[in-house]
Structure 1
């Protein structure tokens, strides 16, 4: 049996959009955000805002009511948690972000795999938060804020914008409904979102409650990820250590001018191929390392030669 005759390559990729699917990272993120919002709705208001959302948010400036995040390394975990908190006074803030995740990020997860999706999603949140905090500080130092200045950041919109842009890059001709009414190609939606954020970031709009820097960071990361063909799993600093600690049989792929492999070697090759193909099915092709890709190519040539 050749590699591409196996079940992993014959069965369709499953789009896990059901709330009952435990392996969907998108559903898990939505549930966490909703739980935080509901808990926060019942929390007493302190310091003029809800306690939980404020505790999870990023705070920057000289006049903040909460400790400044950027200048306190022990608070840098807020660069992750702010992406799961939303305005308790604005239900639409939560609803529209979660709808964006549901309709667009679900297909991105199915395309790239659960782990790779989570890596990219969290990278968009963290980098967006850091760049936004730096931009607020620079604005204060350059005199754009008179006297004490402060600002807070929460919401998943930066990562959501990034996922919409990545969706548009992967499926540019897919029909989506703008404002749930007007059918347009996905690339049109992506262009409109990025253009709106660019106008907002340059001061063409007066909505100061929107973190345009975070949105543009997500969009920029999506473009880099797509055009540079990144695989964030290969940047795992502990991956090399785990690969060396994991014991595997010594496998050898024979070239055309070498003797035929024994039955034991063929069985070992098949077992390793099955493991790699199962990894593709679970986590997506982007999760493969270069060594695994090279092994699949060599094993495929061997199996094809044996079938002749």
Structure 2
């Protein structure tokens, strides 16, 4: 199995967090090809990707309230965000579901985008923004709100409480609010606020992630091909069951059992713990 097949299998078997990281990395690679100017050494994102505060722009392209959260204006920006997201999402998934993580990421990005636009309207400023920081802050603050006293072990520091880590990040954002990247800090704090509200509403019985799940399900059903075929002839067979058909079902059950055993191994030890033969088997089974 080559590297491409290995990445495909990890994407297929990985959860929402891995797939969001893949999408962020893929969007960064696309931006390097199409939006990076080597002469100036900077990115220039078009209005149909970045979120602009100009009403005539975002009014015609409302999808930018989400697309901005998948693009980054530098490698270190991307790397830091993905490291924090990997950390926050792994903690979040300890208590909540994959669908709730996806819903929180998307709704957190949209909420922060709206706050960014409103904030710049009040300040009478105009700008555009990219970056997943706001959506990531929503995830981090959400899990911190739910389990603030959870102990996290940090390299060279040791055990610290989760709320200490989150508090430091929020304080740094507040300290830099008027220094530079004001719009970025507005969106970060808005994402943090949404993460807090998400958990509080969830504890009261309202799961906001169901909005995203419902939209995805609607479009999935809209484009799903009908399983029923018109004018299909049905032949009744009153003869005895063929022995080969029984053995085929048994073979399928054994293969499924092997897949389940491999998936259990991945959940316990990770994808890298699989042998080469097991990876090959999963790749062929996924075709």
The TM-score, its normalising length taken from structure 1, stands at 0.57
**Following the alignment from structure 2 to structure 1, what is the Cα–Cα distance between the partners of residues 167 and 58?**
37
Give the secondary-structure state (helix, strand or coil) at the position aligned to 1:211. helix
Q: Which residue of 2 aligns with 1:97?
A: 81
**Following the alignment from structure 2 to structure 1, what is the Cα–Cα distance between the partners of residues 152 and 46?**
32
**Following the alignment from structure 1 to structure 2, what is the Cα–Cα distance between the partners of residues 235 and 54?**
26
User: Does the CA contact (< 8 Å) of 1:125 and 1:156 recur in 2?
Assistant: yes
Q: Which residue of 1 aligns with 2:148?
A: 172
State how 1:104-183 maps to structure 2 within 5 Å: 104-140=88-124, 149-176=125-152, 180-183=155-158
Shift of 1:44: 5.8
Aligned length: 204
Over aligned residues, Cα RMSD in angstroms?
3.2
Shift of 1:45: 4.1
Q: Which residue of 2 aligns with 1:42?
A: 33
**Following the alignment from structure 2 to structure 1, what is the Cα–Cα distance between the partners of residues 193 and 22?**
27
User: Does the CA contact (< 8 Å) of 2:137 and 2:191 recur in 1?
Assistant: yes
**Following the alignment from structure 1 to structure 2, what is the Cα–Cα distance between the partners of residues 162 and 44?**
27
Give the secondary-structure state (helix, strand or coil) at the position aligned to 1:150. coil
Shift of 1:151: 1.4
Shift of 1:97: 0.5
Q: Which runs of 5+ in 2 are unaligned?
A: 1-8, 219-287
Q: Which residue of 1 aligns with 2:181?
A: 208
Shift of 1:50: 3.5
Q: Which residue of 2 aligns with 1:219?
A: 192
**Following the alignment from structure 1 to structure 2, what is the Cα–Cα distance between the partners of residues 154 and 51?**
11
Choose which of 4, 7, 15 in structure 2 pairs with 1:24: 15
The TM-score, its normalising length taken from structure 2, stands at 0.61
**Following the alignment from structure 1 to structure 2, what is the Cα–Cα distance between the partners of residues 70 and 209?**
22
Q: Which residue of 2 aligns with 1:199?
A: 175
